[in-house]
Amino acid sequence: MTPHKGNSVAPPAPAHHAEMPDAPPAERTAARRLSTRVGRMRELGIVVALALVVIPTAVVNPRFIQPQSLRDLLLNASIVALLAVGQTLVVITRNVDLSVGSVLGLSAFLTAQQFADHPGTPLLAGIGFGVAVGLACGLLNGLLVALGNVPSLVVTLGTLYVFRGIDYALAQGRQVNAANLPDALLDLGSSRVLGVPVLVLVTVVVIAAAALHLRSYRCGRELYAIGSNPEAATLAGIPVARRTLTAFVLSGLIAGLAGALWVARYGTVDAAAGTGLELQVVAAVVVGGVAIFGGSGTVAGAALGALLLGTITSCLVVLQIPAFWQQAIAGALLLGAITVDRLLALRLAKALRTTEGTSHA
């Protein structure tokens, strides 16, 4: 009977030890909640900043908030916001894609040339061609970074000039005019649904799809894990190289789509389309709360950052402030966002250490 009694009291011991691993998941849950709260506060801060920019401008010039002016504001920000979505996927993994402006330019020119040289090209087929160009560019970037282990800053800075050089070589000083493009494509750039421009709706759909991918799917959540700690992600069995490659491919694909929509928006396209956009996109992403060191941020925040920068530019134009100040303010916002990001990261780390100490106690 004694041995049998010993067997009956044995189970509590393993149960006691089984409680020990519960602390790390609790700490991770606290970390996620704290990170989400900080992210929402930063996005709310962008909305407040938008109000502080728009309201004084509307007081000086009431026409600034007329429906047509607001539509133009959203249209002007839509391309940058679209690029910011793809850039966010890359920056979250602790990388950067400086070639998005050149990818947009190359895709825009080739898409316009496709429509001009083949007048019977269906609308979706022509846009798909532009998307495929961007996908190929993103694939090249991703292979060099993920499989070649070359720093993304070096790779994309190089491909920025390579893609732009190919664009100029193909264009040979020519441009494609709106007269050579089909009406269906040009209508896409000016048509509305319930008063909202179609290009803005396309951008919103892409933002929603990317947000769903990052929030609800394992492959999306793994991007955050890679950015937070690549070595730990590897030890956890996450395919770091594959996920990084996917992020660059998606960034290129979205840049290709942005290039095709650029054609629809502006009509006239040459080899200089999208020049300098990469810096605006990086600024929008960082201002929107995406950590430049990876691991946190949302596509919605990045899109709001693009809208904020576009709104500031429009406000300065309305207020007749020199263009120099437009660039200076954008630079100041970028530096401020990086500083705030660093301070928040330090406070977050301190809070997590406190949570960890409390749980162990």
**pLDDT at site 263:** 93
Within a 13 Å sphere around the CA of 284, how many CA atoms are in the beta-carbon half? Answer: 31
- Comparing CA positions, the residue from 76, 88, 38 lying closest to residue 308 is 76
- The mean pLDDT of 251-260, rounded to a whole number, is 96
Contact 79, 290 (CB under 8 A): no
Domain count, the chain: 1
Count of CB atoms situated within 10 Å of the CB of 308: 23
Helices (H), the chain: 2-9, 12-18, 23-60, 67-92, 100-117, 123-142, 152-171, 183-190, 198-216, 218-228, 230-235, 240-266, 277-287, 299-318, 323-360
Q: Note whether residue 10 is domain-resident.
A: no
Helices 277-287 and 100-117 cross at an angle (nearest 10°) of 130
Contact 97, 251 (CB under 8 A): yes
Q: Note whether residue 175 is domain-resident.
A: yes
Q: Note whether residue 2 is domain-resident.
A: no
Query: Residue 135 to residues 38, 104, 217, 253, 269: CA-CA distances in angstroms?
Result: 33, 11, 22, 4, 20
Residue 193 per-residue DSSP state:
E
For residue 281, give its domain range: 36-360
Contact 24, 359 (CB under 8 A): no
What is this structure's pTM?
Answer: 0.82
**pLDDT at site 15:** 37
Q: Note whether residue 346 is domain-resident.
A: yes
Residue 320 has pLDDT above 90, yes or no: no
C-alpha span between 295 and 1 (Å, rounded)? 58
Question: What token pair was written down for 175?
Answer: 């441009």
Q: Note whether residue 11 is domain-resident.
A: no
Chain centroid offset of residue 135 CA: 16
Position 11 confidence tier, pLDDT thresholds 50, 70, 90: very low
Q: Note whether residue 13 is domain-resident.
A: no
The CA dihedral of 244, 278, 336, 73, to the nearest 10 degrees, is -120
Question: What token pair was written down for 290?
Answer: 């995406």
**pLDDT at site 228:** 86
Residue 357 has pLDDT above 60, yes or no: no
Contact 92, 223 (CB under 8 A): yes
What pLDDT, in 10s, does the model give residues 79-93? 999 999 999 999 999
What is the number of residues in the chain? 361
Contact 191, 198 (CB under 8 A): yes
Residue 143 per-residue DSSP state:
I
- The mean pLDDT of 262-286, rounded to a whole number, is 90
**pLDDT at site 95:** 94
**pLDDT at site 7:** 42
**pLDDT at site 124:** 93
Written as one string, the DSSP assignment of 10-62 is STHHHHHHHTGGGHHHHHHHHHHHHHHHHHHHHHHHHHHHHHHHHHHHHHH-G
What pLDDT, in 10s, does the model give residues 120-176? 889 999 999 999 999 999 999 999 999 988 999 999 999 999 999 999 999 988 898
What pLDDT, in 10s, does the model give residues 207-239? 999 999 998 899 989 999 998 888 898 898 899
**CATH code of the domain in which 214 resides:** 1.10.3470
Q: Note whether residue 23 is domain-resident.
A: no
C-alpha span between 267 and 252 (Å, rounded)? 22
Average pLDDT along the chain: 83
Question: What token pair was written down for 10?
Answer: 């044995």
Q: Note whether residue 182 is domain-resident.
A: yes
Contact 247, 93 (CB under 8 A): yes
